Amino acid sequence: MRAGMDEATGKIVTGWDHCQMVIRRALTTRPGALVLRRRIGSRVPLLQDENMTAEAVIRLYVAIAEALAPSNPNWGEPGFRLRSIQLVGLNSAGQIGLVLTGDYYPNGHLGDYSVKETGSTTLPVREAA
């Protein structure tokens, strides 16, 4: 089982909690932001200041799907396969909320996809600051 340190509390996180943390980190890291890992990052933060038109929301969906794709060597989360993205909120400030739903594989990082659970995580895009 994978484990990591929660970025907010410093406590150890494992399992689905760890996977959600990695997903959020993948989607909120700008390309080139990590000094020793410049190639890592997603286009999601780059879309942050766009007007929330239908086209911008589609670009956001595509950026999320690309960042979490299993074939993406820069971020693809091996323990998660994205199945759907649902818009769950929009306010006058242009902040939106998304629910990402997919298959969680507890041993996906080891190449073992025999155990699968459904998982959902909510991502307020305003976190991508």
Can you give the CATH number for the domain in which 91 is found? 3.10.450.40
Q: pTM to 2 decimals?
A: 0.82
- Within a 10 A sphere around the Cβ of 77, how many other Cβ atoms? 23
Query: What was the pLDDT predicted at 125?
Result: 55
Alpha helices by DSSP H, listed for 7-111, are 15-28, 54-68
What is the span of the domain harbouring residue 111? 3-127
**Arithmetic mean of pLDDT, 61-71:** 88
The mean of the pLDDT values for the chain is 84
Higher pLDDT, 77 or 9: 9
Can you give the C-alpha Rg of the chain in angstroms? 15
Number of domains present in the structure of the chain: 1
Those residues with Cβ within 8 angstroms of residue 120's Cβ, 6 or more apart along the chain or in another chain? 99, 100, 101, 102
